[in-house]
């Protein structure tokens, strides 16, 4: 075939739209991606001739090839012509052409309309979205807590199903391995509080009252609060990451297929270990903070350890010690439930896992602080 004949053959298959009447067109050639520019030019030419006609008929019988691009461009042009007031009908479609046009027509989306709203309305919308999301989280938490209580009841009725080894393993990770960092931070916090308290109380000649200040503050509030926040960041995030990874690898589905309950196997041992471990860590954190305060009081205030302990024994009551320990199991339960819910909500991507771990830590710390405030109000109301 010569160059001239090849050029003629190429022109024969170029997409064309021939006007067959006042409001009719016959399409011919290859309406495919390779001839995209010619397809666009043909449709532009049709658009110029359609203006003013209310009834338009487009005949597809002459098409030799028709692919997704051609169908999409023709479908979009049809929508535009109908928007301008014309009624467009496509006739003599082959079955494959009709299927292609129908599929691309389903996937066409109109550009989003720009809705102009005031900043006040946007703020109200954001507040409403947060409230709705918070309500959903509360309902999810209550439902999940119900599932945990049901699983715990089943384990109580069938003790052989209880996984004591898993509880001990989680206790090691939560409590034993967390002792160094928690005691160190508590020691430093107690020392800082004592130092600042001494500097302020020296002005009034009441240096010895720093013992009362540190003892009440640490035993009632800071000991359990610091411990819960550190456990939420350390163990809560680990729970979410572990359960989320198992969810991504479909290991939780495999547990269900084996006839086991993921709540019994994964959730209950972690929650039980957390409820046991957090009060123990709270006790150690409080003692460490008091020790740090005693060291600083000896160095900066000249309060010897025996004087510090005598003053501490006089300044606090037994209920002051118990207040922090009473809070600890409830905070542990909240941290564990939030961490496990977020882990079970992980989807199949690493982005989802990272987002859920972050959400778990933020929500757990927020709820721990809220619970501490509610307990403070409650104990003040009952004068305990």
Q: Which residues contact 96 (CB under 8 A, 6 or more apart)?
A: 66
Task: Dig out the tokens for 322 from the structure.
Answer: 């118990």
φ, ψ of residue 29 in degrees (nearest 5): 90, -165
Instruction: Write down the H helix ranges in the chain.
Output: 3-12, 36-50, 68-83, 95-106, 119-157, 164-171, 179-201, 210-217, 223-231, 237-248, 251-257, 262, 268-300, 305-315, 318-344, 350-381
Contact 338, 148 (CB under 8 A): no
CA distances from 186 to 15, 149, 219, 290, 310 (A): 79, 33, 12, 9, 22
Print pLDDT tens along the chain (384 aa).
333 333 444 454 566 566 655 567 888 888 888 888 888 888 888 877 776 666 778 888 888 888 888 888 888 888 887 777 778 888 888 888 888 888 777 665 555 566 666 788 888 888 888 899 888 888 888 898 899 999 989 988 988 888 889 999 999 999 999 999 999 999 999 999 999 999 988 888 888 899 999 999 999 999 999 999 999 999 999 999 999 999 888 899 899 899 888 999 999 999 999 999 999 999 999 999 999 999 999 998 888 999 999 999 988 888 888 998 999 999 999 999 999 999 998 887 888 899 999 999 999 999 999 999 999 999 989 888
Strand partners, 212: none
Task: Dig out the tokens for 183 from the structure.
Answer: 């005691």
Q: What pLDDT is stored for residue 72 in this prediction?
A: 84
Contact 228, 335 (CB under 8 A): yes
Query: Among candidates 61, 52, 54, 55, which has minimal Cα distance to 26?
Result: 61
CA distances from 119 to 97, 114, 125 (A): 48, 15, 10
d(CA 30, CA 171): 71
φ, ψ of residue 265 in degrees (nearest 5): -80, -40
Contact 308, 208 (CB under 8 A): no
Order across the sheet with 16-21: list the strands: 16-21, 24-31, 55-66, 87-91
Q: How many residues does the chain have?
A: 384
DSSP string, 24-67: EEEEEEEESGGGHHHHHHHHHHHHHHHTT-SEEEEEEEEEEEE-
Q: What pLDDT is stored for residue 9 in this prediction?
A: 41
End-to-end CA distance of the chain: 103
d(CA 249, CA 360): 20
Q: What pLDDT is stored for residue 10 in this prediction?
A: 45
Indicate yes or no: pTM above 0.75: no
φ, ψ of residue 287 in degrees (nearest 5): -65, -40
Is the four-CA dihedral 318, 319, 320, 322 of positive or negative sign? Answer: positive
Is the four-CA dihedral 133, 134, 137, 143 of positive or negative sign? Answer: negative
d(CA 343, CA 135): 19
Contact 346, 352 (CB under 8 A): yes
């Amino acid at each position: 075939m010569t160059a001239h004949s090849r050029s003629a053959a190429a022109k024969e298959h170029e997409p064309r739209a021939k006007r067959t009447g006042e409001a009719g067109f016959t399409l011919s050639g290859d309406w495919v991606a390779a001839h995209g520019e010619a397809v666009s030019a043909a449709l532009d030419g049709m658009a110029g001739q359609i203006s003013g006609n209310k009834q338009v008929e487009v005949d597809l019988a002459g098409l030799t090839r028709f692919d997704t691009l051609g169908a999409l461009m023709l479908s979009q042009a049809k929508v535009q012509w109908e928007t301008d007031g014309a009624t467009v009908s496509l006739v003599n479609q082959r079955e494959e052409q009709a299927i292609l046009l129908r599929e691309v027509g389903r996937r066409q989306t109109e550009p989003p309309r720009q809705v102009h709203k005031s900043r006040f309305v946007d703020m109200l919308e954001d507040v409403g979205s947060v409230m709705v999301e918070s309500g959903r989280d509360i309902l999810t938490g209550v439902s999940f807590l119900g599932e945990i209580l049901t699983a715990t009841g089943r384990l109580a009725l069938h003790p052989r199903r209880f996984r004591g080894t898993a509880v001990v393993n989680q206790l090691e990770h939560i409590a034993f391995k967390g002792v160094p960092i928690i005691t160190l931070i508590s020691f430093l916090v107690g020392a800082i509080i004592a130092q600042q308290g001494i500097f302020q109380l020296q002005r009034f000649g009441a240096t010895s009252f720093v013992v009362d200040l540190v003892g009440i503050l640490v035993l009632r509030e800071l000991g359990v609060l610091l411990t819960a926040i550190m456990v939420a960041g350390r163990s809560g995030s680990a729970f979410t990451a572990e359960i989320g990874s198992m969810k991504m690898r479909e290991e939780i589905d495999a547990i269900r297929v084996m006839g086991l309950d993921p709540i019994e196997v994964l959730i209950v041992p972690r929650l039980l270990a957390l409820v046991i471990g957090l009060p123990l860590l709270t006790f150690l954190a409080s003692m460490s903070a008091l020790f740090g305060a005693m060291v600083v009081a000896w160095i900066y205030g000249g309060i010897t350890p025996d004087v510090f302990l005598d003053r501490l024994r006089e300044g606090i009551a037994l209920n002051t010690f118990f207040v922090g320990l009473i809070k600890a199991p409830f905070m542990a339960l909240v941290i564990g439930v939030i961490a496990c819910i977020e882990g079970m909500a992980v989807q199949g991507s690493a982005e989802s896992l990272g987002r859920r771990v972050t959400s778990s830590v933020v929500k757990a710390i927020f709820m721990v602080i809220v619970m501490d405030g509610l307990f403070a109000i409650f104990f003040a109301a009952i004068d305990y």
